[in-house]
Amino acid sequence: MSSGMQMASNIIEEFNKMKLKSTYKYMLFRINDAFDTIVIDKYGNPSETYEDFCRALPVDDCRWGVFDWHVDLGDRGLRNKLVFYFWAPEASKVKHKLTYSASKEVLRKPLQGINVEMQCNDFEELDPQDVIEKISKAP
Protein backbone atom coordinates (compact mmCIF):
# COMPACT_ATOMS: atom_id res chain seq x y z
CA MET A 1 0.00 0.00 0.00
CA SER A 2 1.50 3.29 -1.06
CA SER A 3 0.83 6.25 1.22
CA GLY A 4 2.01 9.01 -1.15
CA MET A 5 4.23 10.23 1.68
CA GLN A 6 7.56 11.95 1.01
CA MET A 7 10.63 12.19 3.21
CA ALA A 8 12.32 15.50 4.07
CA SER A 9 15.59 15.97 2.20
CA ASN A 10 17.76 16.29 5.34
CA ILE A 11 16.81 12.98 6.96
CA ILE A 12 19.42 10.75 5.31
CA GLU A 13 22.23 13.25 5.96
CA GLU A 14 21.28 13.63 9.64
CA PHE A 15 20.81 9.87 10.07
CA ASN A 16 24.28 9.27 8.63
CA LYS A 17 25.74 11.77 11.13
CA MET A 18 24.15 9.68 13.86
CA LYS A 19 25.31 6.38 12.40
CA LEU A 20 28.87 7.32 11.41
CA LYS A 21 29.82 10.09 13.83
CA SER A 22 27.55 9.40 16.84
CA THR A 23 26.34 12.99 16.60
CA TYR A 24 22.99 12.00 18.15
CA LYS A 25 21.94 9.30 20.60
CA TYR A 26 18.52 9.12 18.99
CA MET A 27 16.28 10.73 16.41
CA LEU A 28 12.49 10.97 16.35
CA PHE A 29 10.47 11.43 13.18
CA ARG A 30 6.89 12.54 12.57
CA ILE A 31 4.56 13.42 9.74
CA ASN A 32 4.24 17.16 9.17
CA ASP A 33 1.00 19.09 9.72
CA ALA A 34 0.08 18.90 6.01
CA PHE A 35 0.29 15.09 6.34
CA ASP A 36 2.47 14.73 3.23
CA THR A 37 6.11 14.68 4.44
CA ILE A 38 8.10 12.82 7.07
CA VAL A 39 10.26 15.26 9.05
CA ILE A 40 12.71 15.13 11.95
CA ASP A 41 10.87 15.81 15.20
CA LYS A 42 13.70 15.69 17.73
CA TYR A 43 17.38 14.89 18.13
CA GLY A 44 18.82 13.39 21.29
CA ASN A 45 22.30 14.62 22.16
CA PRO A 46 24.98 11.94 22.76
CA SER A 47 24.70 12.20 26.56
CA GLU A 48 20.97 11.38 26.60
CA THR A 49 19.73 7.97 27.71
CA TYR A 50 17.12 5.44 26.64
CA GLU A 51 14.86 6.87 29.37
CA ASP A 52 15.17 10.30 27.71
CA PHE A 53 14.20 8.72 24.38
CA CYS A 54 11.13 7.08 25.94
CA ARG A 55 10.10 10.32 27.67
CA ALA A 56 10.31 12.16 24.34
CA LEU A 57 7.61 9.93 22.83
CA PRO A 58 4.12 11.48 22.93
CA VAL A 59 1.44 9.61 24.86
CA ASP A 60 -1.23 10.33 22.26
CA ASP A 61 0.43 10.37 18.84
CA CYS A 62 2.58 8.16 16.65
CA ARG A 63 6.28 8.55 15.94
CA TRP A 64 9.16 6.66 14.42
CA GLY A 65 12.52 6.69 16.13
CA VAL A 66 16.05 5.38 15.90
CA PHE A 67 18.12 4.79 19.03
CA ASP A 68 21.86 4.04 19.05
CA TRP A 69 22.30 1.14 21.48
CA HIS A 70 25.66 0.06 22.95
CA VAL A 71 25.19 -3.21 24.80
CA ASP A 72 27.76 -5.37 26.60
CA LEU A 73 26.78 -9.02 26.11
CA GLY A 74 29.53 -10.35 28.35
CA ASP A 75 31.53 -13.13 26.71
CA ARG A 76 29.77 -12.37 23.40
CA GLY A 77 31.25 -8.86 23.35
CA LEU A 78 29.99 -5.34 22.87
CA ARG A 79 27.21 -4.75 20.37
CA ASN A 80 26.51 -1.40 18.77
CA LYS A 81 23.13 -1.51 17.05
CA LEU A 82 20.75 1.02 15.61
CA VAL A 83 17.20 0.13 16.61
CA PHE A 84 14.21 1.43 14.63
CA TYR A 85 11.00 2.05 16.57
CA PHE A 86 7.45 2.40 15.34
CA TRP A 87 5.54 4.05 18.20
CA ALA A 88 1.74 3.86 17.90
CA PRO A 89 0.15 4.33 21.33
CA GLU A 90 -3.44 3.27 21.91
CA ALA A 91 -4.46 6.89 22.56
CA SER A 92 -3.40 8.07 19.09
CA LYS A 93 -6.01 8.74 16.42
CA VAL A 94 -6.90 5.83 14.14
CA LYS A 95 -6.09 7.92 11.04
CA HIS A 96 -2.62 8.60 12.43
CA LYS A 97 -1.98 4.94 13.21
CA LEU A 98 -3.03 3.91 9.71
CA THR A 99 -1.00 6.64 8.00
CA TYR A 100 2.12 6.00 10.06
CA SER A 101 1.84 2.27 9.43
CA ALA A 102 1.34 2.72 5.67
CA SER A 103 4.23 5.22 5.49
CA LYS A 104 6.78 3.39 7.64
CA GLU A 105 8.78 1.95 4.74
CA VAL A 106 9.13 5.39 3.12
CA LEU A 107 11.35 6.24 6.09
CA ARG A 108 12.72 2.84 7.05
CA LYS A 109 14.06 1.58 3.70
CA PRO A 110 16.51 4.45 3.01
CA LEU A 111 17.95 4.28 6.55
CA GLN A 112 20.79 1.85 5.89
CA GLY A 113 22.36 0.14 8.90
CA ILE A 114 19.28 -0.54 11.02
CA ASN A 115 19.76 -3.89 12.76
CA VAL A 116 16.64 -4.30 14.88
CA GLU A 117 13.03 -3.11 14.64
CA MET A 118 10.52 -2.66 17.44
CA GLN A 119 6.83 -1.87 17.23
CA CYS A 120 5.45 -0.51 20.49
CA ASN A 121 1.94 0.51 21.48
CA ASP A 122 2.55 1.38 25.13
CA PHE A 123 5.43 2.27 27.39
CA GLU A 124 5.68 -1.27 28.81
CA GLU A 125 6.65 -2.50 25.34
CA LEU A 126 9.68 -0.17 25.45
CA ASP A 127 11.28 -2.32 28.18
CA PRO A 128 15.06 -2.12 27.67
CA GLN A 129 15.47 -5.83 28.47
CA ASP A 130 13.23 -6.72 25.51
CA VAL A 131 15.36 -4.54 23.25
CA ILE A 132 18.60 -6.04 24.58
CA GLU A 133 17.21 -9.52 23.93
CA LYS A 134 16.46 -8.59 20.30
CA ILE A 135 19.90 -7.01 19.93
CA SER A 136 21.56 -10.16 21.27
CA LYS A 137 19.86 -12.17 18.50
CA ALA A 138 20.63 -9.69 15.70
CA PRO A 139 23.42 -10.42 13.22
The yes-or-no verdict on residue 2 having pLDDT over 80 is no
pLDDT range class, residue 3, cuts 50, 70, 90:
low
pLDDT (0 to 100) of residue 1: 42
By C-alpha distance, which of 4, 1, 56 is closest to 25?
A: 56
What is the arithmetic mean of pLDDT over 4-15?
96
What is the arithmetic mean of pLDDT over 96-111?
96
Write out pLDDT tens, residues 27-65: 999 999 999 999 999 999 999 999 999 999 999 999 999
What is the arithmetic mean of pLDDT over 124-139?
93
